[in-house]
């Protein structure tokens, strides 16, 4: 059975709702959509946003920006205190250059960002003023509400810009650490290929799980760990076949293979010829 969908059609251009509960056991049963932009701010507790195509958790002091006409619902985390603010506003409430803020904050998917502790007082103050003004119906109510909303959008855009810059820096730092880690792995393999190397032994040495190590190594080098180990061993086998008179089964053991059959199979796969044929070819040349 398809989940229920509620359509919300409000006449007012600005709507604000505050909710506070000791516990939050009742989930929102139906999806809903509306023609207004939505700003959700979680003051306490936790919840899950379900936009059908994307499901994500929201934590305390996080903002969520939902574009208009996007199907969504929230599910509260059971047993926790819950406090949140929701703002819905129509597009015609912002004008001119202010609309650029909508394009940045309300994309084709939900935007979630955390308000850092040093900015929380500022954001709480804006929300409080907006809520106070929402309940105040004097003649200048609409003017001040619009001004506060624009201030909220501007500060949110600045916060997004700051966090994006930090994310770029963090990504670059992570990339550098990953390259250095894989470089150490390669150096270790190059120096110890004759030992009994395995994915599990490498994972243990570099304090990673096997899946993460395998994925990182291939992401950086373009080849798998086992593939690289075999390539290093075959490269050494070539040298020994040309420069020494060691028997092939002896070479196999010396470069880390358990037997000469394994060497023959890997050598043929990588070079397209057998170790014996390779030796004859290079000895005659």
Distance CA 238, CA 248 (A): 11
Listed residue (35, 17, 160, 6) closest to 93, CA to CA: 35
Distance CA 21, CA 24 (A): 6
Torsion of CA 25, 57, 86, 121, to 10 degrees: 110
Distance CA 141, CA 126 (A): 15
Q: Encoding tokens for residue 201?
A: 């032994």
Q: Which residues contact residue 129 at a Cβ distance below 8 angstroms, ignoring those fewer than 6 apart?
A: 148
CATH topology classification for 5-170: Jelly Rolls (2.60.120)
Class of domain 193-285: mainly alpha
Distance CA 227, CA 197 (A): 12
- Residues (pLDDT < 70) of the chain are 1-10, 22-30, 52, 77-79, 165-172, 285
Which pLDDT score is estimated for 2? 43
Which pLDDT score is estimated for 19? 86
Cα angle 196-202-207, degrees, rounded to a multiple of 5: 150
Which pLDDT score is estimated for 224? 87
β-partners of residue 89 are 14, 37
Asked if 160 and 168 count as a contact pair (C-beta separation under 8 A), the reply is: no
Distance CA 178, CA 196 (A): 25
Domain positions in the chain are 5-170, 193-285
Q: How do residues 165-188 score in pLDDT, each as one tens digit?
A: 665 556 667 778 888 899 899 999
Listed residue (255, 250, 268) closest to 197, CA to CA: 255
Cα angle 187-230-237, degrees, rounded to a multiple of 5: 95
Listed residue (130, 28, 127) closest to 72, CA to CA: 28
Distance CA 126, CA 225 (A): 53
- Confidence (pTM): 0.59
Q: Are 5-170 and 193-285 in the same CATH fold?
A: no
Distance CA 42, CA 60 (A): 5
């Amino acid at each position: 059975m398809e989940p229920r969908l509620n359509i919300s059609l409000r006449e007012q251009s600005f709507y604000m709702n505050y909710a506070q509960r000791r516990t939050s056991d009742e989930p929102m049963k139906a999806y809903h959509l509306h023609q207004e932009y939505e700003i959700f701010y979680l003051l306490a507790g936790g919840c899950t946003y379900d936009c059908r195509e994307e499901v994500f958790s929201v934590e305390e002091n996080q903002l969520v920006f939902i574009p208009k006409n996007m199907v969504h619902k929230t599910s509260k985390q059971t047993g926790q205190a819950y406090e949140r603010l929701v703002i819905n506003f129509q597009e015609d409430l912002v004008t001119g250059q202010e609309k650029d803020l909508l394009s940045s904050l309300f994309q084709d998917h939900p935007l979630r960002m955390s308000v850092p502790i040093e900015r929380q007082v500022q954001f709480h103050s804006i929300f409080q003023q907006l809520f106070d003004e929402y309940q105040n119906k004097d003649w200048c109510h609409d003017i001040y509400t619009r001004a506060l909303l624009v201030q909220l959008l501007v500060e949110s855009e600045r916060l997004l810009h700051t966090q994006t810059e930090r994310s770029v820096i963090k990504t670059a730092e992570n990339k550098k650490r990953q390259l250095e880690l894989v470089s150490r792995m390669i150096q270790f393999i190059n120096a110890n290929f004759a030992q009994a190397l395995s994915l599990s032994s490498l994972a243990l040495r570099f304090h990673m799980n096997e899946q993460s190590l395998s994925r990182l190594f291939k992401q950086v080098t373009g080849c798998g760990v086992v593939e690289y180990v075999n390539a290093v061993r075959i490269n050494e086998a070539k040298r020994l076949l040309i420069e020494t008179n060691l028997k092939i089964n002896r070479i196999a053991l010396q470069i880390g293979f358990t037997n000469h059959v394994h060497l023959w199979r890997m050598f043929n796969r990588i070079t397209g010829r057998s170790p014996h044929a390779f030796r004859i070819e290079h000895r005659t040349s």
